[in-house]
Amino acid sequence: MKILFAASEAYPFVKTGGLGDVVGSLPVSLKRHDLDIRVILPKYGDIHKKYKEKMRYMGHTYVELGWRKQYCGIETLKYNEITYYFVDNEYYFKRPGYYGYYDEGEKFIYFAKAVIESISVTGFEPDVIHCHDWHTALLPFLIKNTYWNSKYQNIKTMLTIHNLKYQGVFSKNILREVLGLDDSYFNTECFEFFDAVNLLKSGMIHADMITTVSPSYSEEIQYPYYGENLDGVLRKYNYKLHGILNGIDSNIYNPENDSQIYANYGPLSIEKKIENKLIFQKENGLPQGENIPIVSIVSRLTEQKGIDLINGVIHDIMQSDIQLVVLGTGSFEYEEMFKNLVWQYPNKIRIFMKFDEGLSRRIYAASDMVLMPSKFEPCGITQMIAMKYGALPIVRETGGLKDTVLSCEANKKQGTGFLFHDYNAHDFLYTLQRAIKKYYENKDQWKRWVLNAMNQDLSWTQSAYQYKHKYQLLVEKDAEKKAV
């Protein structure tokens, strides 16, 4: 089977969050299941020079956008045994950063069309195009409509929703001006969403299969609280909706051989983890102490991540004997809140307002606990990395957090973290305080939980098997239909 991943991020080329982790690591695992799997991405200007230098030009074609034709160069690179294709168009992609420009809708409509047009250049004709998030959610519509009478009409599509909050909603003019479609497509069974165009919704309607990144989230999003105004559409199409839990790549996230951390360690050499704490404290001007728990946050600073809860009880949290480390970027209001705290607790808090992969690993390695009191969490990669590095996650019981963290309080023997249920600042505070108390009171018990967390199978193995099974269903169903 030939599978083409179409996405806007893949580690190590582009990563702004969990999407980059998933698209960078799932193909490697799927390849072990004998799938011919390739990945297509935009060739962003910010991709590191060391990768760009190795890319090879394959050819070019053009993409029709309304009355215009836009250049579409295709370059390729093999990395980790996976073939990557990069769509080259400097007008759209040669800009600093990846998102947030005025023409986001046009840019990703261009990219979706480029994914199909690129097939004539690469010669790779996939059985399934696996689309990720709203950036590529237009593809199922394109295959079933714009390209319905072409050789691409039999390609099956799977749409994975990594975060339902981001839907690609644009003014309705985009239909005519960029997609070249008439108003008949502006209806609720296609693109229409509160008088605007919603690309993710069109993907959910037209995809042959929808998946999301944890079983719990796939249930939650069918209710209004989590459904981001699309719960009705999800209920209608729930016969083709599945939840498959994300994994992490244990070659990338492995404290035993991670070259970015200060001292390597594993479950059998757990005593070496402490060196990471001591060096981190020293380098960052925190009082050194083996026994002071480092509690950290590595996160986008947005409402989703429960920063409001942290804000609500931060002064109570800081009464405990802990050191708080924050690595993240996001809304101005949250960044300011953390910056102000440094003035108030100069010996207890360190804040890094940037995106820094290496630093994130050093923080995980130095930490004893990682906070994720998310309002909602499709899967969450952060808590999995934290567990792999022996930092126990303190999480709200929602989405993928619920599916990956086992309560130490409810399962004394097997526990891997601490959970609270309601989105309530004091429930969060009390849970964190109980964890801190356990840390101080019972070192042996804590160590057992840390080992549980580190020894868990958080790899892609199980999930890759499930994805393969779903691809098979899509392709076989089609073969059956043709036979009839």
The binding track of 80-119 with respect to ligand ADP, each residue x by CB under 6 A or -, is ----------------------------------------
Residue choice 8, 76, 118, 299 for contact with ligand ADP (CB under 6 A): 299
Query: If binding is defined by CB under 6 A, does position 408 make contact with ligand ADP?
Result: no
CB 40 within 8 A of CB 115: yes
Q: How many CB atoms lie within 10 A of CB 223?
A: 11
> In the complex with ligand ADP, which residue's Cβ is closer, 108 or 471?
108
Query: If binding is defined by CB under 6 A, does position 380 make contact with ligand ADP?
Result: yes
Query: If binding is defined by CB under 6 A, does position 405 make contact with ligand ADP?
Result: no
> In the complex with ligand ADP, which residue's Cβ is closer, 311 or 329?
329
HEC profile of 132-182:
ECHHHCCHHHHHHCCCCCCCCCCCEEEEEECCCCCCCEECCHHHHHCCCCC
Q: How far is the CB of 473 from ligand ADP (least distance, A)?
A: 26
Query: If binding is defined by CB under 6 A, does position 298 make contact with ligand ADP?
Result: yes
Residue choice 24, 247, 328, 415 for contact with ligand ADP (CB under 6 A): 328
* Whole-number Å distance between alpha carbons of 34 and 37: 9
Query: If binding is defined by CB under 6 A, does position 300 make contact with ligand ADP?
Result: yes
Peptide bond into 12 cis (omega under 30): yes
Q: Which stretch binds ligand ADP (CB under 6 A): 29-37, 168-176, 297-305, 308-316?
A: 297-305
> In the complex with ligand ADP, which residue's Cβ is closer, 404 or 407?
404
> In the complex with ligand ADP, which residue's Cβ is closer, 89 or 416?
416
Query: If binding is defined by CB under 6 A, does position 286 make contact with ligand ADP?
Result: no
Residue 375 DSSP class: S
The strand pair at 82-88 and 68-79 is best described as: antiparallel
Q: Which stretch binds ligand ADP (CB under 6 A): 149-157, 168-176, 327-335, 474-482?
A: 327-335
Which position has the token pair 């130490």?
408
Pick from 332, 425, 415, 437: which is nearest to 375 by CA? 425
Query: If binding is defined by CB under 6 A, does position 255 make contact with ligand ADP?
Result: no
Pick from 261, 267, 271, 254: which is nearest to 366 by CA? 261
CB 360 within 8 A of CB 354: no
Q: Which helix (H) or strand (E) holds 329?
A: strand 323-330
Residue choice 360, 431, 452, 463 for contact with ligand ADP (CB under 6 A): 360
Query: If binding is defined by CB under 6 A, does position 382 make contact with ligand ADP?
Result: yes
> In the complex with ligand ADP, which residue's Cβ is closer, 209 or 372?
372
> In the complex with ligand ADP, which residue's Cβ is closer, 196 or 353?
353
Q: Which stretch binds ligand ADP (CB under 6 A): 102-110, 145-153, 293-301, 447-455?
A: 293-301
Q: Give φ, ψ of 358 to 5 degrees.
A: -60, -45
Q: Which parts of 377-475 are beta strand (E)?
A: 392-396, 418-420
Q: DSSP for 6-63?
A: E-S-BTTTB-SSHHHHHHHHHHHHHHTTT-EEEEEEE--TTS-HHHHTT-EEEEEEEE
> In the complex with ligand ADP, which residue's Cβ is closer, 140 or 400?
400
Query: If binding is defined by CB under 6 A, does position 212 make contact with ligand ADP?
Result: no
* Whole-number Å distance between alpha carbons of 163 and 132: 10
Query: If binding is defined by CB under 6 A, does position 327 make contact with ligand ADP?
Result: yes
Q: Which stretch binds ligand ADP (CB under 6 A): 49-57, 90-98, 310-318, 373-381?
A: 373-381
* Whole-number Å distance between alpha carbons of 43 and 55: 10
Residue 288, both tokens: 């050194």
**Total binding residues toward ligand ADP, as defined by CB under 6 A:** 19
Angle, vertex CA 235, rays to CA 231 and CA 236, nearest 5? 120
Q: How far is the CB of 10 from ligand ADP (least distance, A)?
A: 13
Query: If binding is defined by CB under 6 A, does position 249 make contact with ligand ADP?
Result: no
CB 366 within 8 A of CB 326: no
How far are the Cα atoms of 98, 106, 167, 341 from residue 135, in angstroms, in the given order? 12, 10, 8, 36
Q: How far is the CB of 54 from ligand ADP (least distance, A)?
A: 24
Q: How far is the CB of 396 from ligand ADP (least distance, A)?
A: 13
Query: If binding is defined by CB under 6 A, does position 164 make contact with ligand ADP?
Result: no
The strand pair at 36-42 and 82-88 is best described as: parallel
Pick from 248, 167, 161: which is nearest to 211 by CA? 161
Query: If binding is defined by CB under 6 A, does position 381 make contact with ligand ADP?
Result: yes
The binding track of 8-27 with respect to ligand ADP, each residue x by CB under 6 A or -, is ---------xxx-x------
User: Number of C-alpha atoms within 13 angstroms, CB side, residue 12?
Assistant: 16
Which residue of the chain is nearest ligand ADP when measured via CB?
A: 18
Residue choice 71, 166, 345, 355 for contact with ligand ADP (CB under 6 A): 355
Instruction: Kindly give, in sequence order, each residue whose CB lies less than 8 Å from that of residue 54, ignoring residues fewer than 6 positions away.
Output: 77
Residue choice 145, 284, 329, 466 for contact with ligand ADP (CB under 6 A): 329
Per CB under 6 A, residues contacting ligand ADP are 17-19, 21, 298-300, 327-329, 355-357, 360, 379-382, 385
